[in-house]
């Protein structure tokens, strides 16, 4: 690569980072003004109160720290509840690292048109803390809360793929979709015992548009990790 091109791409990268940072600042000002940015390198760190909003206005808040990677939305922001209000256990959707299990990220990416940071702040994050607030009062989760861990992932991915949340089915679909193009000689996942080429090839190609191979590979990796299966390293292409 020539020096000129390298400089150009470094400048481009800087511009992208700056505009992402600006979008985070704007989203916070607009919808969560009790949060503030305390660091911008190498990741964006946000501290403060996350305020729950209802029809009658704000009604409660959680102290939080958000760690936001500039590669958003490829990487999900990490969210920590810092007020000591939520017990740090899986039953309350807290991950082993102590961060909040806000949403199944790949599911959100696959199902949501608008994946801006602002949308994250309004959507999944609000839903998460609203769920926690509800749990504190009722001792149960509101509608549609997924199980934590592997079961929850199977439910979420089954939903994205529109198949039953059974381990072998979801894994097979994800393995198929991980290929850049579904291989015609693979058995069709519908269980007909016939090659894909002669069966549901069209449907699978449509699914591929919603769940591109790069996303499928990440889902497969996440699922295998959560199921305690070995995670295969990607083959290096010759």
Residues in contact with Zn ion by CB under 5 A are 93, 101, 148, 188, 190, 192, 199-200
**Minimum Å distance from CB 46 to Zn ion?**
21
Closer residue to Zn ion in complex, CB, 52/150: 150
Tokens matching residue 142: 């509101």
- Residue 100 in tokens: 């909040």
Q: How far is CA 205 from the centre of its chain?
A: 23
- 200/224 with CB nearer Zn ion: 200
**Which residue spans within the chain are E strands per DSSP?**
35-39, 44-54, 57-68, 78-81
Three-class SS of residue 54? strand
Which structure tokens are listed for 86? 């939520």
Residue 143 beta carbon to Zn ion: minimum distance, rounded to whole angstroms: 16
Which tokens belong to 153? 């992932």
CA 200, CA 119: separation in Å to the nearest integer? 35
Closest to Zn ion by CB, 70 or 99? 99
| Nearest distance in Å: CB 12, Zn ion | 36
CB of 134 to Zn ion, least distance (A): 15
**What single DSSP character describes residue 188?**
P
* Closer Cβ to Zn ion, 48 or 189, answer by number: 189
């Amino acid at each position: 690569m020539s020096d000129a091109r390298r400089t150009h791409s470094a400048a481009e990268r800087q511009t992208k980072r700056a505009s992402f940072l600006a979008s985070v600042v704007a989203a916070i000002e607009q919808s969560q003004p009790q949060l503030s940015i305390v660091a911008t390198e190498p990741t964006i760190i946000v501290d403060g109160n996350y305020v729950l909003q209802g029809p009658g206005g704000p009604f409660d808040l959680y102290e939080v720290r958000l760690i936001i990677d500039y590669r958003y939305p490829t990487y999900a922001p990490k969210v920590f509840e810092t007020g000591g209000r939520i017990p740090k256990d899986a039953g309350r959707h807290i991950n082993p690292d102590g961060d909040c299990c806000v949403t199944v990220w790949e599911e959100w990416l696959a199902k949501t048109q608008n994946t801006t940071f602002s949308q994250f702040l309004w959507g999944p994050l609000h839903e998460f803390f609203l769920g926690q607030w509800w749990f504190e009062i009722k001792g149960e989760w509101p509608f549609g809360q997924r199980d934590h861990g592997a079961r929850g992932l199977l439910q979420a991915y089954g939903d994205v793929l529109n198949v039953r949340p059974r381990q072998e089915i979801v894994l097979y679909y994800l393995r198929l979709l991980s290929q850049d193009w579904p291989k015609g000689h693979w058995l069709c996942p519908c269980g007909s015992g016939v090659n894909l080429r002669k069966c549901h090839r069209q449907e699978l190609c449509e699914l591929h548009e919603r769940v591109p191979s790069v996303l499928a590979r990440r889902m497969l990796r996440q699922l295998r990790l959560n199921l305690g299966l070995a995670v295969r390293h990607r083959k290096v292409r010759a």
